[in-house]
Homo-oligomer: A and B are copies of this chain.
Amino acid sequence: MRIATVEATPNIAVVKYWGKRDNKIILPMEGSQSFTIDSLKTRTTVMFSDKFKEDEFWLNNKKVDLTDKEIAERMQQLNIIRERAGITLKAKIVSINCFPTAAGFASSASGLAALACAASRAAGLNLSAKELSILARLGSGSACRSVVGGFVEWHKGTKEDGSDSFAETIYPANHWPELRLVSAVLAEGKKKVSSRAGMKQTVATSVLYTARLAYLPTLLKEMREAVGRKDFAKFAELTMRESNNMHATMLDTWPPIMYLNDLSKQVIYAVGELNANEIKAAYTFDAGPNAHIYTLEKNVPEVKRMLEGINGVQKVIVSKIGNGPVYLEQEREHLIDPKTGNVREHYYDEKANLIVIKEDEK
């Protein structure tokens, strides 16, 4: 049966990926590090079949135009998978995000990681984590970090073909069981500059970017060590300063890129106050205003209270560190009916936090 369904989750970087040395196969200027989280998953079903006349991609119940150049670039792994599996069958891909598709939540990371895992499995390939990471990377750089769990490092690699630019688990999810991520949704709506276009501009124009690059290898090493010995205070300072550093090079970009807003600033100040006597929380911001706050289990209530005290915080989501993609083996969990090849009617029930597949209800 040429069908597979995978659930993958986002990763929230503590050492950020911002800048490519190769735009086509997505090779980064430097390494990066993240934790894969256990919530906000994307479920993706891929089916290859001679029933299909053309490739089809449904995302959140909307058909995506695969002839769009940018989309086609993001889906380039599909042809590589077919080639490697020696098949020419057309694919149907159905994907749904179990989280608000708001600015700042990287649905591309979980989405492209789920696609790599589901498509290669459906094609009959049995790939290593490294191979999956490279496939996911072709769709979205940070997706390569979501094919594995725990504390993950994306090695920048040096080869031109990208064969040594992949992510791997440095410490598994259970290495630091007390670690939590508290995410605050601050604003919905589309961001002004896509991260893909933005990082290209930064590399091309920022005067400060070279200093960031020079500093990153040291940071990666210090972060690895801080996580290794579960030194929260050190981890927190490195994480916050690194987030600021990336957003600083964004501001130094021409034209400037500004993802942080007044609410983000309020969170930054509030975390500063929370940490006055003892370091309890570490903020980090991606290419959007939403705040992600790493903390320890015992401090989650305090961090939540802090966030809920800020007028404008729309939602707070608490995550643990996740184990990476999960392969769903039950027939009824596929978003495509394996017999007919039809998309099953489905939706994400946000309240219950689960995917409802309509045919199940009959």
Contacts and interface: CB of A to CB of B under 8 A. Distances in A.
Interface of A: 192, 207-212, 215, 237, 240-241, 244-245, 247-256, 258, 260-262, 265, 268-269, 272
Contact of A208 (B249, B261, B268, B269): B249
B251 A207 contact: no
A261 B251 CA distance: 13
Contacts of A258: 260, 265, 268
Given A254-B244, A256-B244, A272-B255, A210 B211 contact: yes
Contacts of A256: 244, 268
Nearest to A271: B255
Contacts of A209: 211
A153 to B, nearest CB: 20
> Copy number in this complex?
2
A237 B258 CA distance: 17
Contacts of A248: 208, 248-252
A352 to B, nearest CB: 35
A64 to B, nearest CB: 29
Contacts of A253: 244
26 contacts: A192-B269, A207-B215, A207-B245, A208-B211, A208-B212, A208-B245, A208-B249, A208-B252, A209-B211, A211-B211, A237-B254, A240-B254, A241-B254, A244-B251, A244-B253, A244-B256, A245-B252, A247-B251, A248-B248, A248-B249, A248-B250, A248-B251, A248-B252, A251-B251, A258-B260, A262-B262
Among A210, A237, A248, which residue has the most Cβ atoms of chain B within 10 A?
Answer: A248
A261 B252 contact: no
Contacts of A265: 258, 261
A184 to B, nearest CB: 17
A265 B260 CA distance: 10
Contacts of A251: 244, 247-248, 251
A211 B245 CA distance: 13
A269 to B, nearest CB: 8
A224 B244 CA distance: 32
Contacts of A250: 248
Nearest to A256: B244
Contacts of A210: 211
A258 B265 CA distance: 8
Nearest to A251: B248
A250 B249 CA distance: 11
A193 to B, nearest CB: 11
Closest 5 interchain pairs by CB? A211-B211, A248-B252, A248-B248, A208-B208, A248-B251
A252 to B, nearest CB: 4
Given A208-B208, A210-B211, A252 B262 contact: no
A268 B244 CA distance: 20
Contacts of A262: 261-262
Contacts of A211: 207-211
Nearest to A241: B254
A208 B252 CA distance: 10
- Which interface residue of A208, A245, A260, A272 has the most chain B CB atoms within 10 A? A208
A212 B268 CA distance: 24
Contacts of A207: 211-212, 215, 241, 245
A229 B255 CA distance: 24
A190 to B, nearest CB: 15
